């Protein structure tokens, strides 16, 4: 019995020593792996796909008469999504055209009246000269008859006629001077209306043209285009619905502009920098598809700080909870194009924090717009052509304008 125990103890000791050596070697291997590899990566599975949710809202009031894109459909930037009834805006556009035409014709007469008013001033000056001559003659006649009256050469009746003629000449001269002053005032006023400008550049014409542009722009906004290319979601618009400016009608989600928001523990952010490489996998495709990206920035606060009901830690039942901070990760566009993602999908994220050299995420900045669209830019050539055509159609030649003034 004693011999069996003595024989079995060495074997068991060897097994224990071997097991201890294996665990020791495994600990050393894990330590080496952690020192060389594992400590250079931070990972989390609390990450989700985010994207821009571009709301489609009308800029003018109206009634929806057509819906040209529905949920789950792909649309291109500039493609019509909704159409509003254009009846009211078309009437306003025609009224603006009529106002511009009327203003052009009115301003056109100002320029034609300048010559007519200048001629009238010259005529009034000639009238003054004639009235002055009449006054001189009447004064001479009255003086001569006064001298003859002392010798009895003329009767008292002739003297009265001479004095009446003198007063009439004086009154005629005063009337001629007043008419000249009025003519000069009209000419000055008309010249002030046309000074330093042409019909096309006259302030009244420019104001009427701006009104036409505004009416044309309102009419063009009865068609709601897609600001970006993407997939339609959350359509609430219905045919026949009366909508006001700013009413949300549908959403366009540009999936090619998606990014990942990874919620890292606060203790994992110590070595995180902008530009560090990131590898990700999506639950949608599994581990066979790997996405690549870079750290783009760090949120301004933890998730609980922006929660609808933030935690009240100044209470007696406080328990410390490790906070998480959203980190924005920009996806590689080529990976995203090959394997499209949807907003809200879960992601597994691993950041290589061993790559230094970038700025801390809190110092993220931008020198250009993050996103922009040109879908709402009006075709200026078209409205410019319309305004120019209305002005040309209502501009007459100088002879016709002059005939219009004198006719």
pLDDT for the residue 399: 42
**Are 344 and 269 members of one domain?**
yes
For residue range 300-325, list pLDDT tens digits in order: 888 888 877 777 777 777 778 888 99
Q: Is the pLDDT of residue 216 over 90?
A: yes
**pLDDT score, position 91:** 95
- Of 97 and 38, more confident: 97
Please answer whether residues 265 and 282 qualify as being in contact, where contact means their C-beta atoms are separated by less than 8 angstroms.
Answer: no
Provide the domain limits for residue 104.
93-198+379-406
The pLDDT of residue 315? 73
Whether residues 99 and 183 share a domain: the answer is yes
The reported pLDDT for the residue numbered 360 is 62
In a domain, 131, yes or no: yes
Q: What percent of the chain has pLDDT over 90?
A: 39
Whole-number percent of the chain with pLDDT over 70:
72
Looking at the structure, do residues 262 and 247 belong to the same domain, yes or no? no
- Checking phi first, is residue 56 left (phi over 0); if not, alpha (psi -120 to 50) or beta? beta
Averaged pLDDT, 61-89: 94
Q: 293 or 189: whose pLDDT is higher?
A: 293
**Interval 196-201 mean pLDDT:** 69
Lowest mean pLDDT among 246-255, 256-265, 283-292, 371-380: 371-380
pLDDT tens readout for residues 223-234: 999 999 999 999
Q: What is the pLDDT of residue 152?
A: 60
Residue 130 within a domain: yes
Domain boundary among 252, 271, 291: 252
Q: Region 335-354: what's the mean pLDDT? A: 92
246 in any annotated domain: yes
Residue 124: which CATH number?
1.10.287
pLDDT at 140 over 80: no
Separation between Cα atoms, residue 41 and residue 271, nearest integer Å: 10
User: Residues 275, 352: one domain?
Assistant: yes
Of these ranges, 138-152, 227-241, 294-308, the one predicted with the greatest mean pLDDT is 227-241
Q: Say yes or no: 330 and 401 in one domain.
A: no
pLDDT at 398: 42
Asked if the model's pLDDT at residue 139 lies above 80, the reply is no
Does residue 31 lie within any of the structural domains?
no
Residue 359 sits in the same domain as residue 270:
yes
Query: Using CB atoms within 10 A of its CB, is residue 355 exposed (0-12), middle (13-18) or buried (19+)?
Result: middle
- Residue 78 shares a structural domain with residue 115: no
For CA atoms 135, 137, 139, 141, give the dihedral sign: negative
Q: What is the pLDDT of residue 250?
A: 96
The number of distinct structural domains making up the chain is: 3
Residue 156 pLDDT greater than 50, yes or no: yes
E strand or H helix that includes residue 67: strand 62-67
Q: Are residues 264 and 349 in the same domain?
A: yes
Phi/psi-derived region of residue 246, left when phi > 0, alpha when psi is between -120 and 50, beta in every other case: left
**pLDDT at position 407, please?**
36
Whether residues 356 and 274 fall in one domain: yes
Half-sphere exposure of 160 (CA within 13 A, CB side): 3
Neighbouring CB atoms inside 10 A of 300's CB total 10
- What pLDDT shows up at residue 406? 39
Same domain? 349 vs 397: no
Residues 188 and 165 in one domain: yes
Q: How confident is the model at residue 246 (pLDDT cuts 50, 70, 90)?
A: very high
* Confidence grade of residue 271 (pLDDT, cut at 50, 70, 90): confident
Given this model, what pLDDT does residue 118 score?
A: 62
The better pLDDT of the pair 156, 311 is held by 311
Residue 28 is predicted with a pLDDT of: 74
Give the pLDDT of residue 173: 67
What average pLDDT does the segment 82-93 reach? 95
Asked if the structure places residue 193 within a domain, the reply is yes
CB 226 within 8 A of CB 249: no
Mean pLDDT of 377-385: 85
Indicate whether 235 and 284 sit together in one domain.
Answer: no
Domain of 273: which CATH number?
A: 2.40.30.170
The Cα 404–Cα 407 span in angstroms is 5
Phi first, then psi: give them for residue 182, nearest 5 degrees.
-65, -40
Q: Is the pLDDT of residue 353 over 60?
A: yes
Banded model confidence at residue 397, pLDDT cuts 50, 70, 90: very low
Mean pLDDT of the chain: 80
Q: Is there a domain that residue 334 lies in?
A: yes
Of 197-201, 249-253, 350-354, the poorest mean pLDDT is in 197-201
Q: Which of 44-53, 80-89, 128-137 has the lowest mean pLDDT?
A: 128-137
**175, part of any domain:** yes
Asked whether residue 215 is domain-assigned, the answer is no
Task: Return the minimum-mean-pLDDT range out of 31-40, 264-273, 298-307.
Answer: 31-40
CATH number, domain of 70, equals 2.40.50.100
Q: Return the pLDDT at 405.
A: 36
Q: Which residue has the higher pLDDT, 299 or 172?
A: 299
């Amino acid at each position: 019995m004693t011999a069996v125990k003595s024989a079995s103890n060495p074997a068991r000791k060897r097994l224990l020593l071997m097991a201890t050596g294996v665990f020791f070697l495994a600990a050393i291997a894990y330590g080496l792996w952690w020192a060389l590899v594992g400590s250079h990566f931070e990972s989390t599975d609390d990450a989700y796909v985010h994207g821009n949710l571009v709301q489609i809202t009308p800029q003018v009031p109206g009634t929806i008469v057509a819906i040209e894109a529905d949920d789950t459909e792909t649309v291109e930037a500039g493609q019509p999504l909704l159409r509003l009834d254009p009846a009211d805006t078309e009437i306003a556009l025609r009224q603006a055209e009529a106002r511009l035409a009327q203003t052009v014709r009115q301003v056109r007469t100002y320029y034609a009246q300048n010559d007519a008013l200048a001629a009238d001033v010259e005529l009034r000056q000639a009238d003054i000269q004639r009235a002055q001559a009449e006054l001189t003659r009447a004064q001479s006649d009255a003086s001569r008859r006064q001298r003859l009256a002392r010798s009895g050469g003329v009767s008292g009746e002739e003297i009265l006629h001479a004095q009446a003629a003198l007063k009439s000449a004086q009154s005629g001269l005063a009337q001629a001077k007043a008419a000249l002053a009025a003519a000069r005032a009209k000419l000055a006023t008309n010249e002030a209306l046309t000074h330093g400008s042409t019909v096309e550049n006259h302030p009244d014409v420019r104001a009427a043209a701006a009104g036409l542009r505004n009416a044309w722009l309102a009419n063009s906004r009865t068609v709601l285009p897609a600001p970006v290319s993407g997939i339609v979601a959350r359509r609430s618009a219905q045919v026949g619905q009366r909508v006001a400016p700013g009413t949300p009608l549908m959403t366009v989600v540009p999936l090619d502009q998606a990014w990942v928001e990874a919620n890292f523990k606060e203790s994992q952010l110590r070595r995180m920098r902008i530009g560090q490489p990131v590898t990700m996998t999506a639950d949608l495709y599994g581990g066979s598809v790997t996405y690549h990206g870079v750290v783009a920035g760090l949120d301004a606060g933890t998730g609980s700080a922006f929660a609808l009901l933030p935690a009240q830690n100044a209470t007696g039942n406080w328990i410390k909870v490790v906070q998480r901070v959203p980190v924005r990760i920009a996806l590689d566009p080529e990976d995203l194009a090959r394997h499209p993602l949807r907003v809200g999908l879960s992601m597994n994220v691993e950041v290589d924090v061993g790559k230094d050299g970038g700025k801390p995420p809190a110092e993220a900045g931008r020198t250009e717009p993050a996103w922009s669209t040109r879908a709402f830019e009006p075709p200026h050539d078209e409205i410019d052509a319309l305004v120019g055509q209305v002005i040309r159609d209502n501009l007459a030649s100088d002879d016709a304008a002059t005939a219009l003034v004198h006719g």
